[in-house]
Amino acid sequence: MSRIFITGSADGLGQMAAQLLLKDGHSVVLHARNKARAKEALATVRGAETVVTGDLSSIAETIKVAEQVNKLGSFDAVIHNAAVGYQEGRRIATVDGLPHVFAINSLAPYILTCLINKPKRLVYISSGLHKDGDASLRDLEWNIRNWNGYMAYADSKLHNVVLAFYAARKWPDVYSNALEPGWVATKMGGPSAPDSLEDGPKTQVWLAASNEPEVLVSGKYFYHKKLRSVHPGGSDPAVQDKFIAECERLSGIKFPG
């Protein structure tokens, strides 16, 4: 059985994935934004080992999340699930002055990937909207461009693919993959989302814990346990290197190895 850490697992797909993993006999550590959410998460996900807390919109708190995880020992897999949807109208700045969509969806997974002791598997939750992302990586901080919430979200989901494929390239001893769960009726997806909510968490669970031959790969992108085409920028080493350099500049944290 595997030991798995899931970010953003107080509700939504992260919580559903945790429940599926526990049902299959795996050990799961949850993550919540604050202590109140953490208490709710443990009450809902019966059998979870524990929960770590930290607001992933903050670089300092994200670092503390990684520290909490490392104190718990080694993990077989990390599912980078935490994300926020897009806000139209205005750029919302974090405590670090970054757009909150970029900070939570893009930079936090980078920081956690760098700082959490390297697991055997990395799973990054992207979206079909990643194909609308801008692979030029121009103005990640949205200081020059006029704010566009949809584009900021699409960019962040492309960043998840780029990070997954970069880790696959740099760490041949790790299975690192990305996936889209579909547009499902979570709090973020909204009640009219057309895809199957039941199927939404299954691919990340499969990638994190299954030993089927189709899972033992790296640098791939999945939808409902099937390979799916990806934005060309995701597989471009030049795009990957530029994104990692920008994340290092903004966070002050260097990708290891």
Residue 202 annotated in active site: no
DSSP string covering 107-140: IHHHHHHHHSPP-SEEEEE--GGGGGS-TT-TTT
Catalytic residue among 86, 110, 124, 153: 153
Angle between helices 237-251 and 108-115 (to 10 degrees): 90
Residue 242 annotated in active site: no
As beta bridge partners, residue 222 has: 179, 227
Catalytic residue among 86, 110, 124, 157: 157
Q: What whole-number distance in Å separates Cα of residue 83 and Cα of residue 151?
A: 15
Q: What whole-number distance in Å separates Cα of residue 122 and Cα of residue 80?
A: 8
Number of C-alpha atoms within 13 angstroms, CB side, residue 10?
19
Check if the beta carbon of residue 12 is closer than 8 Å to that of residue 19. no
Question: Active-site residues: which are they?
Answer: 153, 157
